[in-house]
Chains A and B, each alone.
Chain A
Amino acid sequence: MAIIVNEETKLVISGLTGREGTFHGLRNRDYGTDVVAGVTPGKGGQDVEGIPVHDTIAEAVSERGANTSMIFVPARFAAAAMSEAIDAGVHTVIAITEGIPVYDMLRVYWQAKEAGVRLIGPNCPGTLSPGKSNVGIIPAQFFDPGSIGVVSKSGTLTYQIGNELKQAGAGNSSIVGIGGDPIIGSDFIDILTLFEQDPETELIVMVGEIGGDAEERAADFIAEQVSKPVVAYIAGFTAPPGKQMGHAGAIISGSSGTAEAKKEALEARGVQVGRSPTEAARLAVEAIGARA
């Protein structure tokens, strides 16, 4: 099972012919992901180490059976590529690109919503279902197959926690990077819903950070709709208000969006929150041990 990407995933990569696109596209294929096509306008008919390149995503869908799109094109063209993927009829779009204008994302967000297409990202590391499929830039070697689902706004922080889980002998059903931008296609709640329904997932680790109120809303949702145990970690307790901490979305405005408020909201609803990535991983391992 796992979520979002699995053995059924047939991936088309927009931007496969670019340097980063080639590097990660081939890594995804080496992992076992079924990469059926790349898309670069004007380069149709070429191939990247055997992966056929098409001019449009629609062609990749009709001729190669692509059902999932990964967006690896530069920021100013990324929204258009996402729109194209939605129109082409894939069921999932995973956007890795960082720095897409917020207003462009607003438009794409509602387009995806209306079309019933699942959008992950942008500005995210992608989704990995260990042993099945890897779509994006998550280094798969730090994750083993298992029963812990991870959903995170941050890439490297996820690798840190994943690696600690692995060292403790715990593996993952899926690892989903939802992205650090102000407007993202899927929020914690969307992914928590999928993990709740996924029979392989027994426990969920949620990794949040300052900015917005997605963690607070997730806390309410967990209390009402998630039966599986959830362990959380929040980054940014030392972040000063008004400063953007790397991610476009990681900014405390006034008194809202602080790490403290998020931690309190989660704890008030019975979610254990680790003080460090290490502690979060330990809490998860303990909780899953107690269930086994």
Chain B
Amino acid sequence: MDLLEYQGKQLFAKHGVPVPPGRHADTVPAAVEAAEELGYPCVIKAQVRIGKRGKAGGIKIANDRDEALKHAEAILGMDIRGFTVHEVWVEAASKIDAEYYASVILDRSEKKLLAMLSRMGGMDIEEIAEADPSALVRRHVEPGEEFTAEAAGQLALDARIDEDVSPAVGELLLKLHEVAVAEDATLIEVNPLIVTSDREVVALDSKITIDNSALYRHEELAELRDRSAEDPQERMAEDKGLTYVKLGGNVGILGNGAGLCMSTLDVVAQAGGKPANFLDAGGGSKADTIVDALEVITSDRNVSAILFNIFGGITRCDEIAKGIVEASAKTQIEVPLVVRLDGTNSEEGLGILADADLSNLHVEKTMLGAAERVVELAHV
């Protein structure tokens, strides 16, 4: 789960990482009130899970009430590359002397945490690495070893951070590591990490990814997740406990198992189709899951044909077939449904489908054949 900037900053504040004072708002009047409270100049920042908000016009400085009103009206409700802005963070403007970069991330390859620091902040980490690889200093936290103040301080020295603020930057990096471990974060990035004109070190932005598997031990963060789904289908799927990702095409897809489902999207794309979604019905799914899944897929109005690609291992094909029949009895599925059932109890499953004699149902024997068929039907 990716936190919004302000959620990340609130987490920072909780752990003593310095952040500028700010207020959250989800209406124009609330945003103006927040600006009035904070004083001017202040910054109104769109809260969406996508980068380069500033370039898209999602971050504006307000010097008085009128400007705060104007910017809040412009930003709330605006679209930033497919993300609608529903909330803003209003923050006291900072006077910036220098922009650095700091992060603590989980390095999957090394199976260690990795702390990184650079005196070239304000641009993408990839850009820093490309522009001047020596400007980005890295240090792994070895297993069983503490990430110490000395280690963090050394990183600040190595990164050639301005001497007067080097201890504060080291300390902040140490705290970011603390936040990562305490909150089960697999990525914490502060870019830019600024030095103010008063030579104070402050996190001006935050990018935090929390490990979904650990949310059970972070109640407050788990609540944020419930509100994180933007798309109506994604929200509906989340309520039903389904693993669903909206993709924007017109071929609805259901597979069992994440790998097979991803592979199904690929073969549909290879056949010339545009997948509408990823939906993993999971292992051992029962008829109820299928009814729920069909409800989510068909609620997407773009969907003009659906493909079920099932290879039953633990999942039994007869359960899938029952689910399809049940869902069809409950609501008229108006689009063609292509079904490929293979594996455990596939003959029973195919028998159930044959008996039900559904007019919109097309049974295919192979995965590739099914992909071609559904693309053909989606285009009719």
Interfacial residues, chain A to chain B (CB-CB below 8 A): 75-76, 99-104, 106, 109-110, 125, 137-139, 141-142, 152-160, 163, 180, 182-183, 207, 209-210, 212-214, 217, 233, 235-240, 242-250, 254-255, 259, 275-278
Instruction: Verify A236–B262 contact, CB threshold 8 A.
Output: yes
A4 CB, min distance to chain B CBs, angstroms: 19
Q: How far is the CA of A237 from the CA of B109 in the complex (A)?
A: 21
Q: A139-B313, A160-B367, A182-B106 are in contact. Are A246 and B258 (CB under 8 A)?
A: yes
Closest B residue, CB atoms, query A75: B213
Contacts A103-B214, A183-B108, A278-B368 given; does A157 touch B343 at CB 8 Å = no
Contacts of B100 in A (CB 8 A): none
| 7 CB-based A-B contacts, threshold 8 Å | A102-B184, A160-B260, A214-B108, A233-B263, A242-B49, A244-B245, A248-B213
Q: Quick one: which of A100, A163, A217, A247 contacts B259, CB cutoff 8 A?
A: A247
- Nearest Cβ in chain A — how far from B211, in angstroms? 5
Which residues of B sit under 8 angstroms from A154, Cβ to Cβ? 257-260, 262
Q: From known contacts A102-B213, A276-B270, infer whether A209 and B259 are also in contact, taking CB-CB under 8 Å.
A: yes
Partner-contacting stretch, out of B157-165, B193-201, B275-283: B275-283
- In the bound complex, CA of A79 to CA of B184 (Å): 15
Neighbouring B residues of A141 by C-beta, 8 Å: 344
Closest 6 CB pairs of A and B: A154-B259, A246-B258, A156-B257, A157-B259, A101-B214, A156-B260
Contact: B262 with A246, CB < 8 Å? Answer: yes
Contact indicator B181/A103 (Cβ below 8 Å): yes
Kindly name the residue among B184, B258, B269 whose own CB sees the greatest number of chain A CB atoms within 10 A: B258
Check: B267 CB closer than 8 A to any chain A CB: yes
Beta-carbon contact of A249 and B108 below 8 Å: yes
Minimum CB–CB distance for A103 against chain B, Å: 6
Does B10 touch A at the CB level, under 8 Å? no
Instruction: Give Cα A209 to B278, complex, Å.
Output: 14
Q: Which residues of B contact A157 (CB under 8 A)?
A: 257, 259-260, 262-263
Q: Does B329 contact A (CB under 8 A)?
A: no
Hey, which chain A residues are within 8 Å of B280, CB to CB?
Answer: 246
Interface residues on B, range: 35 or more
Say yes or no for B247: interface residue by CB 8 A criterion.
yes
Instruction: Give Cα A109–Cα B313 distance, bound, in whole angstroms.
Output: 28
Contact assessment for A238 and B269 in the assembled complex, using a CB-CB cutoff below 8 Å: yes
A76 to B217 alpha-carbon distance, docked (Å):
9
- Nearest B residue to A122 via CB reads B213
Given contacts A101-B214, A255-B126, are A159 and B343 in contact (CB under 8 A)? Answer: yes
Would A102 and B214 count as touching, CB distance under 8 A? Answer: yes
B49–chain A nearest beta-carbon distance, Å: 8
Given contacts A155-B257, A207-B259, A235 and B245 within 8 Å (CB-CB): no
Whether the pair B258, A247 counts as a contact (CB closer than 8 A) is yes
Within residues 70 to 119 of chain B, which ones have a CB less than 8 A from any CB in chain A?
106, 108-109, 111-113
How far does the Cβ of A254 sit from chain B's closest Cβ, in whole Å? 6
Inside 8 A of A243's CB, which chain B residues have their CB?
A: 245, 278
With A212-B108, A276-B263, A276-B367 as given contacts, are A106 and B143 in contact (CB-CB < 8 Å)? yes
- Does B31 lie at the interface of the complex (its beta carbon under 8 Å from any beta carbon of A)? no
* CB-based nearest B residue for A185: B111
B304 at the interface (CB under 8 A from A): no
- How far does the alpha carbon of A244 sit from the alpha carbon of B269 in the complex, in Å? 19
Interchain nearest-CB distance for A263 vs B (Å): 11
Q: How far is the CA of A243 from the CA of B50 in the complex (A)?
A: 12
* Residues of A close to B257: CB separation below 8 A: 154-157, 246
The closest CB in chain A to the CB of B260 belongs to A156
- Which B residues are in CB contact (< 8 Å) with A207? 259
Chain A: CB-nearest residue to B124: A254
Once the chains bind, are A163 and B311 in contact (CB under 8 Å)? yes
Given contacts A139-B314, A155-B257, A156-B313, contact A210 B213 (CB under 8 A): no
A250 vs B261: C-alpha distance when bound (angstroms):
12
Contacts of A155 in B (CB 8 A): 257, 259, 283, 313
User: Cα distance A285–B269 when bound, in Å?
Assistant: 25
User: Chain B residues near A278 (CB, 8 Å)?
Assistant: 366-368
Contacts A137-B313, A156-B313 given: A238-B266 contact, CB under 8 Å? yes
Q: A242 — which chain B residues lie within 8 A by C-beta?
A: 2, 49
- Give the shortest distance, in Å, between B207 (CB) and chain A (any CB): 11
Within 8 A of A (CB), among B24-67: 49
Known: A183-B111, A239-B278. 7 other contacts (CB 8 A): A106-B113, A137-B314, A156-B256, A160-B260, A213-B109, A237-B265, A238-B268
- Which B residues from 208 to 224 make CB contacts under 8 A with A? 211-214, 216-217
**Given the interface contacts A246-B278, A277-B367, does A237 sit within 8 Å of B266 by beta carbon?**
yes
Q: Is B5 an interface residue (CB 8 A)?
A: no
Pair B263/A100 contact, Cβ less than 8 Å: no
Whether, in the assembled complex, B342 has its beta carbon less than 8 Å from a beta carbon of chain A, the answer is yes
| Complex alpha-carbon distance, A249 and B262, angstroms | 13
Q: Which residue of B lies closest to A139 (CB)?
A: B313
Contact call A182/B311, Cβ cutoff below 8 A: no
CB-CB < 8 A to B108: which residues of A? 182-183, 212-214, 249
Q: How far is the CA of A214 from the CA of B368 in the complex (A)?
A: 27
Check B266 against A102 for contact (C-beta < 8 Å): no
Which residue, A109, A157, A278, has most C-beta atoms of chain B within 10 A? A157
